[in-house]
Amino acid sequence: MTTLLKAVLPVLAVIFLTACGSGNADKSHPPHESDSSATAAPVAAGVHLRDDKLNAVYPHYVQLTTALTNGDMAAAKIAASAIAAGAGEITGGAALGAAAANIMAATDIDAQRTLYAGLSTAFIALVKQSGLSSGALYVDFCPMAMHDKGASWLSAGKEIKNPYFGEKMMTCGDVKETILPATAAAGTGSVKPQFTNVDAKVAASLKAVVAQYLQIKNGLAEDNSAGAANGGKAMAAAMEKADKTAMTPEQQQLYKENEDDLKEHAEHIGKNEGNIEHQREHFAQMSEDVYALVKAFGGGQTLYHDYCPMYNDNKGARWISETEVVKNPYFGSKMATCGSVKEVMQ
């Protein structure tokens, strides 16, 4: 492993230096490849974030991570100043900017590393919000960082190079999550409807039901109980009109397994205007039904299967969305971006 590391390091160093040729940070401090524990950041070719402004800051995050991994305080300050400058341009980048400014002001590497934990959390959240258009990023986690509280960071490679301890504990941690472009996620998590012979009338009926589901979902995400209630009433009405006669026996069976449950949730959400938490309880169970139906019949449009692990005392809950951007219906504005896309449903 170490020999491999040694063999790979110079290569990575070269990639890094060329990739960040414009970054004066690398030229302003002496390289230290003589030290075998020193590592260069693997700027994986092809990582591109959808948000252009965030994408512009990303190389500086890589520089900062590398600097901390190498224990290079001066380089960390330079990278942090670049992040602070770029963060101002990013929507929702205030926390990132503030953390970067604090790293610039920090007087020792330990303080920088502590601040880096908060910066990474903010950066990871922004990356998830933006999504990738190409490449892959890994969320790494070291349980020992921050006095055993644990902390995360983002890397472009699967190999662990710990920025919280540097050479003291270079390989502490593991990859907790992989962030892939939605289209690549489609390669692994994309589903096509189970039934290929869905009658046009059936498809139209179900599309109307899904449309009302999305209205409920958007109402809840906007903390708009009345909007959700209207969607619930309209969904119950749309279900009354659903054409079951054109379904095959197999399709009828699957539909019936979900029909009475779904209708009850729709009516209940319709009746509970003003009690949004109760509407959300029903929405969690409703989403299971809608998920089953869309998976079997298709939704008439590209839909995203999202999952929030925190809802219902961390038991988690899913929902279906028409947008790739996560907008949490279970917490609304309290935690709008909690959750991730699990599947793309064509």
Give the strand order in the sheet containing 137-142. 151-155, 137-142, 174-179
How many residues sit close enough to another protein to count as binding (CB under 8 A)?
A: 11
| Closer residue to another protein in complex, CB, 167/259 | 259
CA dihedral 158, 35, 167, 125 (to 10 degrees): -40
| Closer residue to another protein in complex, CB, 190/285 | 285
Q: Which of the stretches 8-16, 116-124, 142-150, 257-265 binds another protein when contact is defined by CB under 8 A?
A: 257-265
DSSP β-bridge partners for residue 308: 317
- 324 touches another protein by CB under 8 A: no
CB of 257 to another protein, least distance (A): 5
Residue of 227, 189, 235 lying closest to 210 (CA atoms): 235
CB of 290 to another protein, least distance (A): 12
Q: Cβ-count burial of 221 within 10 angstroms (0-12 exposed, 13-18 middle, 19+ buried)? A: buried
Q: Which of the stretches 148-156, 201-209, 283-291, 295-303 binds another protein when contact is defined by CB under 8 A?
A: 283-291
Q: Which residue has the tokens 């279970």?
A: 330
- 264 touches another protein by CB under 8 A: yes
The pairing of beta strand 317-321 with beta strand 132-134 = unpaired
| Closer residue to another protein in complex, CB, 312/323 | 312
Amino acid letter, residue 191: V
d(CA 8, CA 6) in angstroms, rounded, equals 5
- 243 touches another protein by CB under 8 A: no
Stretch 29-48 residues interacting with another protein (CB under 8 A): none
**Out of 89, 177, 261, 322, which residue is the one contacting another protein (CB under 8 A)?**
261
CB of 260 to another protein, least distance (A): 5
Q: Which residue has the tokens 């901390």?
A: 68
CB of 117 to another protein, least distance (A): 36
Q: Which of the stretches 113-121, 129-137, 252-260, 324-332 binds another protein when contact is defined by CB under 8 A?
A: 252-260
CA dihedral 236, 238, 244, 246 (to 10 degrees): -170
* Dihedral pair phi/psi, residue 91, rounded to 5°: -65, 125
**Out of 199, 257, 322, 324, which residue is the one contacting another protein (CB under 8 A)?**
257
Which residues in this chain contact another protein in the complex, by CB under 8 A? 256-261, 264, 281, 285, 288-289
